[in-house]
Amino acid sequence: MTIYPAIDIRGGKCVRLKQGRYDDITIFSDDPVKMALQFQNAGAKYLHVVDLDAARGDSDNREIISRIAKELSIPVQTGGGIRTMDDIEEVLGFGISRVILGTSAVKDPEMVRKAVKRYGNSIAVGIDARNGFVAIEGWEKTSELKAVDHARNMEALGVQTIIYTDIATDGMLAGPNILAMSEMVKKVKMDVIASGGVASLKDIRRLKEVGVAGVIVGKAIYTGDVDLRKALEIV
């Protein structure tokens, strides 16, 4: 299992949201590149970066994401506002190892098929669920598509990795939705990376037992609730 320290970028700063709400934001660092290097130095094997501005369609932080990819020697996956084949090509051109398609995967499955055919496992799909249904457009809208059904659709298109986020737990430090993660792992053969709510080393152990391929840890690292080095030892 892989631990993915998370860097969410909003207005060029490293931030965290509560339950995906843009009006409930905490700034943890003015320098996302420096933060990324700290995670690498702590022993992280992979980094997770989200462009919150691009996810909303406000602007983007691709220049910073490009710098992160160039500065780090470990692989980086990133999502947020990647909506076209040109976007995918641009971001992978930074040296990013894996791009995450979110809203675009719901609205344009044919693009996912083309992307997977061209880029293989460099394409992942982010499935962000609110009460079991897929949220889109920076989590500000909820679709009528069930998360598990969407995952199966993506698997049929050749997607090998999904990032599954339970919005209700995200940024709350109240523990992950173990039941939802367990159900997803059982329903698909893809690698499932769990995201949302991790607040302790115990949570990481529980997710490992469920069988997820990876765990994204964000706020808990910044607050000190999870020691990254100890989390890496567990896996």
CATH assignment of the domain containing 152: 3.20.20.70
The overall average pLDDT reported for the chain is 94
| Domain extent for 14 | 2-234
CA separation for the pair 210, 182 (Å, rounded): 6
pLDDT in tens, 154-170: 999 999 999 999 887 76
> Is 128 among the residues known to form the active site?
yes
| Angle 177-97-125 from CA coordinates, rounded to 5° | 40
CA separation for the pair 32, 107 (Å, rounded): 30
pLDDT in tens, 109-155: 999 999 999 999 999 999 999 888 998 876 667 888 999 999 999 99
Given the residues 53, 87, 128, 166, the one annotated as active site: 128
SS (H, E, C) 84-146: CHHHHHHHHHCCCCEEEECHHHHHCHHHHHHHHHHHHHHEEEEEEEECCEEEECCCCEEEEEE
pLDDT of residue 22: 85
> Is 8 among the residues known to form the active site?
yes
pLDDT in tens, 26-63: 999 999 999 999 999 999 999 999 999 998 888 999 99
pLDDT of residue 139: 62
pLDDT of residue 138: 60
**Into how many domains does the chain fold?**
1
Is the whole-model pTM more than 0.75?
A: yes
Given the residues 8, 51, 166, 191, the one annotated as active site: 8
